[in-house]
Each structure stands twice: as structure tokens, then as C-alpha cells.
């Protein structure tokens, strides 16, 4: 079973691809390796995937291109390069779509990047899933779809009609687009609303990376809303285990779906949408304390007002997902932070790392 993973050079895409390769499953990676953040980190992830592929004798191929390039994407769905060369890796029948223009705050500065990648690109993913009769499309949504909702913990049954950033709006659009394709063409599709994922090889624009770097460099950390934020921090290994289990269990139509009183968490189509989080919201200041403990170093703090597009609190109700896949996240905040800081210190101080 070959799996197509878009965003394979990204944080979550890398970890999921690594798990698939370790499980003996061939992976076709698709990524444009853009410079939204340090390209060298993305290259290091890809080098790690190539190394694991070689050790396990499990095939991995990367296609470097944009989601907006429908011709290149169409060939990837056939297990081929844009020039028609066969990758000799198999034709993917399942897709994990993680590629997107990330970042809530950046969407305010550069909205067109989100329209092209997250809307046009996702449309190409759906059309190719239809054309090539994909058996299951698992795609990344986001906890940001809950927007202005302050009724926590967030449930899939809640309204998601009030996004507070363009990024959130594109992710809700993805859910609506996926549902329409699932309904029209009976393609099993599962959307996953990720809640603040963290861990080794994490993104440099995320709080854990920013705070760790600043503390080690004796620089102040910026705490927005004066630090009065709560996030449902979710460790990457728990995310990976959940996604792999979801991939193995395509959704089916809900029997007896009530169209007069529709439940947003269910559908008559073979379609699911799940929260995927830790279900244990943590105040930001406690998160900072965990980093300080891990580094054995106290931070310098700069208190700032709330930023546009941000929300004060996220908290996930993941009972539906846990029931579906029979799995609950189990990594504590301190253990997860310790794993990240150990990786960070090793990675940025180890001359043997090859990122060429």
C-alpha cells in the first residue's frame, strides 16, 4: 500500500512519513519546500526520511512542486514524475494531505499565499482524489476553525461559522469542499482539526521553538495577551499514532442521518471530521515553566497585548476520535517538552548533521 503524503518536508508530514516507512509502507512525498521558515530544517527532515528508507528498504520518493500545479499533482497520484517517469514505488490509493500555507498571523500579512495553496491547491487534491478513485483521503484541518467560539472544550458539534483569521477560513472551506466531494463521488474523507502540535523537528514559528531559542540565547520571550493564553498542546507522537489509525479506518455514511436536524459532526456521506488534540488544555505560563525546567534556565519575559487573529483559549473534546480509533494521547507536557529541548540542543550543536 503506497501512501501519498503532501507536506512531507513539513513538521507533521515528516513524522507521519517516518512512521509509515518504519512500518514498511512506501511513501510518495509531495512538497514545494518553500522558505516560509528555514529550508535547511526541511532538508534535514528529508535526509532523515531517505536514511530510514534505506535502512528499512522501504521506498521513499519526493516530488518537489506546488499544490497549485495540477499537472504535477496529477502525475504524483499516478506514482509518476511530471515528465512521466515512473517512480517504481506503486500507485497511491490512500492520501494524507498536510501541505498548506501555515501560520495564523502570517495570513494577515500575505493572504494570497493562503488562497492559492489552501483553496486552489486543496481543490486540486480533491479533483485528483476523484479522478484516481482514492480509497481514503485524510486531510489537515485546524482547531482555528472554532474562531470566536468561547464554549470550551471545542466539540465537532459546535458551530464553526465565525473564523477570526483567513487561515481559519481556508481550513473551514477545506472541510466544506471535502464534504461536497465525498457526497458527490462517495470518496471516504476524514478531516482532522489539529490542536497546537509540538515536538522534535518542530516549526520555528511555533511557541516552543521560539521560546527555547530565546531562553538559550538569553533573550526575552514575547507573551501575548500578557501571557493569559491557554492551549491544548499535543505531542507529535500522539498525533502520528492517531493519524495512522484514522488512515486505516475510512468513514462510512451515518445510518439514519437526520437531515431536518443535521449534526455537524456526522454526515450521510462517507465523511468524518474529528478534533485531534490532547484534551488537556495548559496555561501558557505553565508551558513556559516546563521549558524553563527542561533547560534549567529562567526566561526573561516581555508582556504584550493580544495579536490580531489570535484567540485566548483552545481546548479539544476528542471523545469522538478516541472512540473511533480506540486511542488516547498519553504524553505529558513535561515529557514532550523535554524531548523537544533535547532534540533542539543536539540538532543545533551537532556538526555531524547533514542538511545539504
CATH number at residue 21: 3.40.50.720
What pLDDT does 72 receive? 97
Domain-embedded: residue 179: yes
Domain-embedded: residue 325: yes
Residues 6+ apart with CB under 8 A from 6: 13, 29, 30, 31, 67, 95, 96, 97, 98, 99, 125
Domain-embedded: residue 267: yes
Q: Among 167, 198, 271, 287, which one carries the catalytic annotation?
A: 167
What pLDDT does 352 receive? 37
Domain-embedded: residue 120: yes
What pLDDT does 24 receive? 97
What pLDDT does 350 receive? 47
Domain-embedded: residue 215: no
What pLDDT does 329 receive? 93
Domain-embedded: residue 322: yes
356 residues of the chain, pLDDT tens digit each: 899 999 999 999 999 999 999 999 999 999 999 999 999 999 999 999 999 999 999 999 999 999 999 999 999 999 999 999 999 999 999 999 999 988 777 888 889 999 999 999 999 999 999 999 999 999 999 999 999 898 999 999 999 999 999 999 999 999 999 999 999 999 999 999 999 999 999 999 999 999 999 999 999 999 999 999 999 999 999 999 999 999 999 999 988 899 999 989 889 999 999 999 999 999 999 999 999 999 999 999 999 998 887 888 899 999 999 999 999 999 999 999 999 999 999 999 743 333 22
CA-to-CA dists, residue 239 to 204, 208, 286, angstroms? 19, 17, 21
Domain-embedded: residue 294: no
* Number of structural domains in the chain: 1
Q: Choose among 17, 278, 58, 263: nearest CA to 3.
A: 17
Mark whether 344 is an active-site residue: no
Cis peptide before 153 (omega within 30 of 0): yes
Q: Which residue range is the domain that position 65 belongs to?
A: 3-195+234-277+315-330
Domain-embedded: residue 216: no
Amino acid at each position: 500500500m503506497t501512501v501519498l503524503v503532501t507536506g512531507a518536508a513539513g513538521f507533521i508530514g515528516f513524522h507521519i512519513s517516518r512512521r509509515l516507512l518504519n512500518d514498511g509502507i512506501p511513501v510518495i512525498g509531495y512538497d514545494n519546500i518553500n522558505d516560509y521558515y528555514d529550508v535547511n530544517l526541511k532538508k534535514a527532515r528529508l535526509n532523515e526520511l531517505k536514511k530510514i528508507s534505506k535502512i528499512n528498504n522501504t521506498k521513499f520518493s519526493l516530488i518537489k512542486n506546488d499544490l497549485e500545479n495540477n499537472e504535477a499533482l496529477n502525475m504524483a497520484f499516478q506514482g509518476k514524475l511530471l515528465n512521466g517517469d515512473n517512480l517504481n514505488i506503486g500507485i497511491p490509493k490512500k492520501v494524507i494531505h498536510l501541505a498548506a500555507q501555515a501560520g495564523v498571523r502570517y495570513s494577515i500579512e500575505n493572504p494570497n499565499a493562503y488562497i492559492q495553496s489552501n483553496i486552489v491547491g486543496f481543490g486540486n487534491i480533491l479533483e485528483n482524489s476523484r479522478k484516481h478513485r482514492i480509497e481514503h483521503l485524510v486531510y489537515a484541518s485546524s482547531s482555528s476553525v472554532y474562531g470566536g467560539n468561547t464554549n470550551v472544550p471545542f466539540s465537532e458539534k459546535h458551530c464553526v461559522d465565525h473564523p477570526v483569521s483567513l487561515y481559519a477560513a481556508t481550513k473551514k472551506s477545506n472541510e466544506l469542499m471535502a464534504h461536497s466531494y465525498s457526497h458527490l463521488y462517495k470518496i471516504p474523507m476524514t478531516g482532522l482539526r489539529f490542536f497546537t502540535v509540538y515536538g522534535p523537528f518542530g516549526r520555528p514559528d511555533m511557541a516552543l521553538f521560539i521560546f527555547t531559542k530565546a531562553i538559550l540565547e538569553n533573550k526575552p520571550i514575547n507573551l501575548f495577551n500578557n501571557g493569559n493564553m491557554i492551549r491544548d498542546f499535543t505531542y507529535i507522537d500522539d498525533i502520528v499514532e492517531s493519524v495512522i489509525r484514522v488512515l486505516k479506518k475510512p468513514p462510512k455514511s451515518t445510518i439514519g442521518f437526520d437531515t431536518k436536524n443535521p449534526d455537524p459532526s456526522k454526515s450521510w456521506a462517507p465523511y468524518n471530521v474529528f478534533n485531534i488534540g490532547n484534551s488537556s488544555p495548559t496555561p501558557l505560563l505553565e508551558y513556559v515553566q516546563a521549558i524553563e525546567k527542561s533547560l534549567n534556565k529562567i526566561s526573561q519575559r516581555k508582556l504584550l497585548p493580544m495579536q490580531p487573529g489570535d484567540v485566548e483559549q483552545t481546548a479539544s473534546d476528542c471523545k469522538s476520535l478516541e472512540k473511533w480509533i480506540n486511542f488516547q494521547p498519553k504524553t505529558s507536557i513535561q515529557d514532550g517538552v523535554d524531548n523537544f529541548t533535547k532534540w533542539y540542543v543536539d540538532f543545533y550543536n551537532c556538526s555531524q548533521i547533514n542538511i545539504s
